[in-house]
Amino acid sequence: MKESKDVIEYFFYVVVFFLCVSCSKTHAPAPLCPVPSEDQMRWQEMEYYAFVHFSLNTYTNQSWGYGSEDVNLFNPEKLDCRQWARICKEAGMKGIILTAKHHSGFCLWPSEYTEYSVKHAPWKNGKGDVVREMSEACKEYGLKLGIYVSPWDRNHPDYGKPEYITYFRNQIKELLTNYGPIFEIWFDGANGGTGYYGGADENRKIDRTTYYDWKNTYKMIRELQPDIVIWNDGGDRGDLRWVGTEAGLVGETNWSLLNGTGEVEWAMLHYGLESGDSWVPAEVNTSIRPEWFYHPDEDSKVKTVPQLMETYYNSIGRNGTLLLNFPIMPNGLIHENDEKAVLEFAATVKASFAKNLAENRKVSASNVRGNAKQFRAEYVVDSNKDTYWTSDDSVTTPSLTIDFEKPTLFNRFLVQEYIRSGQRVKSFIVEAFIDGAWNEVARGTTIGYKRILRFPGVETTKVRFSITGAKGSPVISNIGIYNAPVFLNAPSIMRNKSGEITIKTNDIGPYFYYTLDGNEPTQQSKKYEGPVPTEGKVNVKAIAYDPATDKSSPVAIERFDICRKDWKIVEAEDEKVYAILDGDVSTTWSQRKEKLPVDLVIDFGSEKNLNGFKYHPDPGMWNPGITQYELYVSGDGKKWKLADHGEFANIKNNRVWQIKKFSATKARFINLRALKNTEGNNTIGYAEIDVVTD
Ligand code: FUL
C-alpha cells in the first residue's frame, strides 16, 4: 500500500516537474518594474513632434517677455496654423506643442480669466484664438496637439500668492476642456524672478517644490484628459523628464527611470537613474535655430541637415523623443529657411533608414527562452514591434547572429527593447565577421525603446549582437542594420582678435572654399589655404568639399562686425582675459568679485558708432553667465552714459549668442555691468564679447 502510494506520489511529482518546466518554457519573462504606462508607451512611439514658440515677445525680439508688453503689438497678418501643421506633417512629425502661454503671461487664446490675451489684440479684431486654429489644423493634418502653459506668469498681479494657483488651474482647465484631446502638457521649469506683475515691477520668488501644489493640479489634469502625459521640470515628477540641456542631446547611457521622490540632480536628468523606482523617460527639446523665439538675426543660423541628423541620433537614437521647435515669425508663419531645413532633414532620415538590411535575414541566437517558438531569434527582424526574442531567466548575456549570406556594407545599427517588459540592457557590442574572425564594430550601454549606433562603413557577411550586461533576460523586439548616406558638416568659421579668419571642421579630409563678398561659395571660389587676414566688417560664407566622394557640405555663414585688433580690456589682470575676444566660444574667462555688480570695461582704441553689443556666455555647464545687465558707453572712460539694460533670459539652459540692439551712440569705451548671474553668486563667465555697429 505504502509502496503504491510512493509510486503515485513519485509520478505526481514527475508530472508537476514537467508541467513546471514546460510552463516556464512558455511563459514570457515577468516584467522588470518599473515599466511604462500605456500613455507613456503611446507617447514614446510618437518619437518626433514639434514645438512652436509664438507670443507677444515675437514682436519685441525678446527671449522672454517681461509681462508689460503691449497687446497691440500682436497682429500676425498672415497667421496660418495650417502652414505650421503642413510643414510638421511633411516632416514626419506626429504632433505639435504650442506655447499657449509663455512666461510673459500673454495668452494665445481668449481666456476668461485675464485681459492679457488675444482678445484685446488687433489681430482679427480681438476675435482670434490661436489655440483653436492650431487644434483645427492639427485635426486636419492628423497631428496630435500638446500645450505649453508657463507656470511662471510675469504679467499676473497675484503671481507668488496662493490666489494665482486658482487662476493657473482655471487656465489649464480652459485649455484642457475646449480644444479636444491633448497628448502632452508642458510646465516649464523657469519659475519666479523679476516681472511686471500687474505694475508692481518687482522680483518675486516662489518655492517651486510647494507653491504650485502639483499633486492636485495633476489630479485635475488627469480627470480632464485621462490619456495625457505631463512634462514637468519644476516640481513634482511628471510622466516625462527634461534632459538637462536644450542643446539637443541626452546621455549615451539613458535609463528611462528616475526615483519618484527626492532631489533630481543634473546627471539624473541627462542619464536617467539605473536604480530608479519610476518610469520617467527622456524628451529632448531643442530649437531649429539657436533661440526658441524668432529673431531675424538668426535667419542664417537655422540648423543644417548634418546638425539636425546629429540631434536625431543624439535623441531618438538614444532612447529619447525629439521635440523640435519652430519659432514663428511676427507675420504668423514659419520662415522658409526653417521649412527647407526640416524637410531636407526628414528626407535624410527617410533615406538613412529606407532599407533594413537585416529584415527577414537568417538569425540564430545563443539562447532562446525555453527553446520556445514564440521567443525565437527571427522576431527581431520581422518588422513587428509586438514580437520579441528573449532568453532564459538565467541567461542575461546572450547573443544573436544575423547572416546576410553575401558581403553587405553597413554603417548604422539600430536596436529596440520590448520596454513593456522593462528596460533591461546595460551594455552590448556589435561585431562583424571579417577574414574568418569577429571584429568589434561598435559598443553601447543602454538600449531602451530605441538605440542607434553610428560607425564608419563595414562590409561583412555576418553581424553579431551580444549583450554584455543586463538586469535580467534581455527582451529585444527589433534590430535594424542600415547603410545611411554620409554627410559633410558645414565648417565652422572664426575670426580672431587680429582679424584672421580660420575655417575648420571635425570631418577628416575635406577642402574648404569661401567667399568674403556674400556670394555662395562653390569649388570655383577661393580655396582655403590657412588663416585669411581681414579688416572691418566681413560676410564669410564657406563650404567643405570632399574630393573622394565629390560631396559638398551645407554653406556656413558668419557676419563679423568691426575688427577687434585694437581693443583692450581695461584693468585686465592677465592676458587670459583675451580669450573673450579670440573668436572661439570654447575658450572662456571668468572673474570673481567681492560682490555684484561686476564690470567689464573695454577700450576700442578709437570712437565707434555703436548700436548694439553681443555676449556669448561660457558654454560649459557650471560657469555662471550674466542674467541681468547694464551697458554703459563713454567717450573718455570717465564719464559714462547708460545705453541699454535688460536680461539675458534663458542662458542657463541655452548658452548661445545674445544680441542686444540699442539707439545709435558714439563711444570709445563700453562697460558691460553684470547685475545678476544664473547661480546667484559673484562669479561671471564670458566666452566672447562683440559689438554691433552701423
Ligand atoms: C525654457 C524657456 O525658458 C524657454 O523660453 C523655452 O520656452 C524653452 C522650451 O524652455 O526653459
**What would the 3-class secondary structure string for 221-236 be?**
HHHHCCCCEEEECCCC
Instruction: Report the distance separating Cα 164 and Cα 198, nearest Å.
Output: 12
Atom of ligand 1 minimally distant from the CA of 51: 9
235 has a pLDDT exceeding 70: no
338's enclosing H/E stretch is helix 336-352
Q: Is the CB of 188 under 6 A from ligand 1?
A: yes
Instruction: Report the distance separating Cα 543 and Cα 557, nearest Å.
Output: 9
Give per-residue pLDDT as tens, 109-146.
999 999 999 999 999 999 999 999 999 999 999 999 99
The CATH homologous superfamily for domain 362-482 is Galactose-binding domain-like (2.60.120.260)
CATH of 38-351 among 3.20.20.80, 3.90.1170.50, 3.20.20.70, 3.90.180.10: 3.20.20.80
> 114: which 3 cell numbers?
485675464
Region 412-437: what's the mean pLDDT? Answer: 98
- Of 56, 149, 188, which is best to mutate to test ligand 1, by the most ligand atoms within 8 angstroms of its C-beta? 188
Q: Between β-strands 320-327 and 282-287, what pairing exists: parallel, antiparallel or unpaired?
A: parallel
Residue corresponding to grid cell 583692450 = 568
Give per-residue pLDDT as tens, 463-476.
999 999 999 999 99
Asked if the domains 362-482 and 568-692 are classified in one and the same CATH topology, the answer is yes
For the chain, give percent helix, strand, coil, nearest 5.
25, 35, 45
Report residue 5's pLDDT band, with 50, 70 and 90 as the boundaries.
very low
Length of the chain: 694
- pLDDT the model gives residue 79: 98
Q: Contact, 451 vs 269, CB < 8 A?
A: no
> How is domain 492-560 classified at the architecture level of CATH?
Sandwich (2.60)
Ligand 1 atom 8 nearest Cα: 292
Instruction: Report the distance separating Cα 572 and Cα 530, nearest Å.
Output: 31
CA neighbor of 501 nearest in space, from 547, 578, 556: 556
Q: What percent of the chain has pLDDT over 90?
A: 91
Q: How far is the CA of 652 from the centre of ligand 1 (A)?
A: 10
User: What average pLDDT is seen over the chain?
Assistant: 94
Give per-residue pLDDT as tens, 48-81.
999 999 999 999 999 999 999 999 999 999 999 9
Q: Give the burial string for 620-629 (b: 16+ CB within 10 Å, else e).
A: eeebbbbbbb
Q: Is 520 helix (H, G, I), strand (E, B) or coil?
A: coil
> 553: which 3 cell numbers?
557640405
Q: Is the CB of 54 under 6 A from ligand 1?
A: no
Q: How far is the CA of 331 from the centre of ligand 1 (A)?
A: 21
Q: Is 92 left (phi over 0), alpha (psi -120 to 50) or beta?
A: left
Strand partners, 259: none
Give per-residue pLDDT as tens, 296-347.
999 999 999 999 999 999 999 999 999 999 999 999 999 999 999 999 999 9
Q: Is the CB of 245 under 6 A from ligand 1?
A: no
- pLDDT the model gives residue 410: 98
Atom of ligand 1 minimally distant from the CA of 64: 5
- Of 49, 191, 246, which is best to mutate to test ligand 1, by the most ligand atoms within 8 angstroms of its C-beta? 246
Q: Is the CB of 653 under 6 A from ligand 1?
A: yes
Q: Is the CB of 145 under 6 A from ligand 1?
A: no
Q: What percent of the chain has pLDDT over 70?
A: 96
667 has a pLDDT exceeding 90: yes
Query: What is the pTM assigned to this prediction?
Result: 0.93
Give per-residue pLDDT as tens, 556-572.
999 999 999 999 999 88
Q: How far is the CA of 682 from the centre of ligand 1 (A)?
A: 25
Q: Give the burial string for 4-35 (b: 16+ CB within 10 Å, else e).
A: eeeeeeeeeeeeeeeeeeeeeeeeebeeeebe
Q: How far is the CA of 651 from the centre of ligand 1 (A)?
A: 10
What is the CATH number that goes with domain 568-692? 2.60.120.260
In sequence order, what DSSP letters do the residues of 263-314 get, joined into one string? ---HHHHHH--TT-SEE--EEEEEESSSSSS--GGGTT-PPPHHHHHHHHHH
Give per-residue pLDDT as tens, 262-273.
889 999 999 999
Domain locations in the chain? 38-351, 362-482, 492-560, 568-692
Q: Is the CB of 307 under 6 A from ligand 1?
A: no
- pLDDT the model gives residue 25: 53
